[in-house]
């Protein structure tokens, strides 16, 4: 099978690393690929923003499957361009990708499907939005309707801050993405994410994970794309898994099909869990980054046939084997991330880290130059490790971090704290 992988971060390194292990792969093409994939596939001259170039290349070179990592090309219609040329694509159409790209669309679908989520209102004008806020209680949740790179959510403790967020967003803070806003009920509980692959009708449940969205230790500082992750998530019990499938994923996939816009690809459900009851926070139309990386570390089966069957409507009866081992990931980010940061500082020790037990380092934002490795992004390295339990996986991941010499970066030192605290409490009993 000839596969074209779209995207260039740590998630795509992990997907490419896994796909490259498949006996069914004949050639891997990368648009543009992570620097960590340079020796596993052929880097194309265009990147993940050049949709027409991707579709033309795929059609002209008889690509069997295009796998799309990030949301932006999906929201812009890459799936539709490929479908028009008859190229199988793992990733939803533009209409189906609205489950991520439009918060109000997601809310409509969830409500039609009866999926549990926060009550909400949608607004395009400041005054009615402020009036609605006055009917709610603190904390207030205000979201840009469109894609705002994970930055379009404000949780305000006071009405004053909530009003300010409403005014700022509806005056164009995120351009088109905040022409409309959604105001939601605040949900309590613990967050976790769950992933499922679907061909539009048949659903293959994957596994769960937890990530750390804030930049600094103790879940402080600005929101980021994710500073670390681990799997399994102790809060995600068998009962939660069953409810998530029955109450959320299955009805939503059925609803998308009945609307004539079947959802194909991986559906990422961000959940708030309280008393073993999952409620939907968000959907993403793709694998999480960095959650994908630890999913790939726990996946024992060949991934490629499952992706192909999802893209071509044959997922029925497919199953995947997962390792009982836990996996953890520590993001090493450039100083200043998620704000302004410098590129081009030298990184050493990745090979030494990769030689440690259980450790695999994925490249999220690096480049090779004159035989050396330089930082080339905000999130730069993803140090992953597997272990018998989360404690061991986390310890091994930090041993990997210690082996890396990169003065230009920082990382959180408390990845996995929720799971470890829970484990401490259980041991003390």
Q: 313: which 2 tokens? A: 């409507």
**Nearest residue to 267 (alpha-carbon basis) of 322, 210, 199, 316:** 199
56 binds ligand AMP (CB under 6 A): no
Q: What does the block give as tokens for 411?
A: 């990382």
For residues 331 and 153, give the distance between their C-alpha atoms in angstroms, rounded to a whole number.
Answer: 22
Cα(212)–Cα(228) distance, integer angstroms = 5
Partner whose footprint covers residue 199, from ligand GLY, ligand AMP, none (CB < 5 to 8 Å by kind): none
Q: By CB under 6 A, tell whether 146 contacts ligand GLY.
A: no
Candidate segments 34-42, 185-193, 252-260, 339-347, binder of ligand AMP by CB under 6 A = 185-193
Residue 293 has phi, psi (to 5 degrees) of -60, -40
Q: How far is the CB of 7 from ligand GLY (least distance, A)?
A: 12
Specify the stretch interacting with ligand AMP by CB under 6 A; choose among 181-189, 335-343, 345-353, 382-390: 181-189
Closest approach of ligand GLY to the CB of residue 12, in Å: 12
User: Which SS3 state, helix, strand or coil, does residue 116 take?
Assistant: coil
Helix axes 103-113, 94-101, angle to 10 degrees: 100
Closest by alpha carbon to 382, among 6, 5, 9? Answer: 9
**Interacting partner of 118 out of ligand GLY, ligand AMP, none (Cβ under 5 to 8 A depending on kind):** ligand AMP
Residues 6+ apart with CB under 8 A from 307: 19, 65, 67, 90, 197
End-to-end Cα, the chain, rounded Å? 52
With CB cut-offs between 5 and 8 Å by kind, which of ligand AMP, ligand GLY, none does residue 281 bind? Answer: ligand AMP
Interface residue with ligand AMP, options 118, 254, 352, 356 (CB under 6 A): 118
Told to check if 211 binds ligand GLY by CB under 6 A, we report yes
Across 247-395, the runs of DSSP E, i.e. the strands, are: 265-274, 277-284, 326-334, 346-347, 359-363, 366-369, 372-375, 379-387
- Name the segment binding ligand GLY (CB under 6 A); options: 18-26, 215-223, 284-292, 333-341: 284-292
Is 365 within 8 Å of 377 (Cβ atoms)? yes
Q: Which does 265 bind (CB under 5 to 8 A by kind): ligand AMP, ligand GLY, none?
A: none
Q: Considering only residues 285-304, where is the footprint of ligand GLY by CB under 6 A?
A: 288-289, 291
Using CB under 6 A as the binding rule, whether residue 141 contacts ligand AMP is answered as: yes
- The least distance separating ligand GLY from the CB of residue 288, rounded to whole angstroms, comes to 4
Q: Which residue is nearest to ligand GLY (CB)?
A: 226
Stretch that binds ligand GLY, among 2-10, 282-290, 320-328, 419-427 (CB under 6 A): 282-290
208 in contact with ligand AMP (CB under 6 A): no
Nearer of residues 34 and 284 to ligand GLY, judged by Cβ: 284
Size of the site for ligand GLY (CB under 6 A): 7
Indicate the residue among 17 and 268 with the shorter CB distance to ligand AMP: 268
Is 91 a residue that touches ligand GLY (CB under 6 A)? Answer: no
Interaction of residue 284 with ligand GLY, rule CB under 6 A: yes
Q: Is there a contact between 391 and 232 (Cβ–Cβ < 8 Å)? A: no
DSSP label at residue 36: G
Interaction between residue 12 and ligand GLY (CB under 6 A): no
CA–CA separation, 194 and 281 (whole Å): 12
Cα-based distances in Å from 199 to 90, 174, 181, 196 = 9, 33, 31, 10
Q: Distance between CA atoms of 73 and 91, rounded to whole angstroms? A: 10
Q: Given the rule CB under 6 A, which residues bind ligand AMP? A: 118, 141, 143, 150, 153, 184-187, 191, 213, 270, 281-282
Q: Given the rule CB under 6 A, which residues bind ligand GLY? A: 211, 225-226, 284, 288-289, 291
């Amino acid at each position: 099978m000839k596969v074209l992988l779209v995207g260039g971060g740590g998630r795509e390194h992990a997907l490419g690393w896994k796909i490259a292990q498949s006996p069914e792969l004949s050639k891997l093409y990368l648009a543009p690929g992570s620097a960590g994939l340079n020796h596993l596939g052929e880097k194309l001259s265009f990147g993940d923003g050049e949709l027409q170039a991707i579709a033309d290349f795929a059609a002209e070179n008889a690509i069997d499957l295009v796998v799309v990592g990030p949301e932006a090309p999906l929201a812009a219609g890459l799936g539709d361009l490929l479908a028009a040329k008859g190229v199988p694509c793992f990733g939803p159409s533009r209409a189906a990708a609205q489950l991520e790209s439009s918060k109000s669309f997601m809310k409509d679908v969830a409500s039609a499907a009866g999926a549990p989520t926060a009550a909400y209102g949608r607004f395009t004008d400041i005054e009615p939005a402020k009036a609605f806020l006055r009917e709610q209680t603190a904390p207030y949740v205000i979201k840009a309707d469109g894609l705002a790179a994970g930055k379009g959510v404000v949780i305000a403790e006071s009405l004053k801050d909530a009003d300010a967020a409403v005014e700022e967003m509806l005056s164009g803070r995120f351009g088109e993405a905040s022409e409309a806003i959604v105001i939601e009920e605040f949900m309590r509980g613990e967050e976790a994410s769950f992933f499922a692959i679907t061909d539009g009708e048949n659903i293959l449940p994957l596994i769960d994970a937890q990530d750390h969205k804030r930049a600094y230790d103790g879940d402080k500082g600005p929101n980021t794309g994710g500073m670390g992750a681990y799997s399994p998530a102790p809060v995600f019990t068998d009962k939660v898994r069953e409810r998530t499938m029955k109450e959320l994923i299955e009805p939503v996939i059925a609803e998308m099909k009945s609307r004539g816009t079947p959802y194909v690809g991986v559906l990422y459900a961000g959940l708030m869990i309280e008393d073993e009851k999952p409620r939907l926070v968000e959907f993403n139309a793709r694998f999480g980054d960095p959650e994908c990386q630890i999913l790939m570390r726990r996946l024992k089966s060949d991934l490629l046939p499952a992706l192909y069957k999802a893209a071509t409507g044959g997922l029925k009866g497919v199953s995947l084997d997962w390792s009982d081992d836990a996996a953890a990931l520590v993001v090493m980010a450039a100083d200043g991330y998620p704000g302004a940061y410098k590129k081009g500082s030298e990184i050493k020790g990745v090979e030494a880290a990769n030689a440690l037990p259980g450790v695999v380092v994925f490249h999220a934002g690096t480049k090779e130059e004159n035989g050396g490795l330089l930082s080339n992004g905000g999130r730069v390295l993803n140090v992953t490790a597997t272990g018998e339990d989360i404690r061991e996986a986390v310890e091994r991941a930090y041993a990997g971090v210690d082996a890396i010499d990169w003065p230009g970066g920082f990382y959180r030192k408390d990845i996995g704290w929720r799971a470890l605290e829970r484990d401490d409490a259980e041991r003390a009993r």
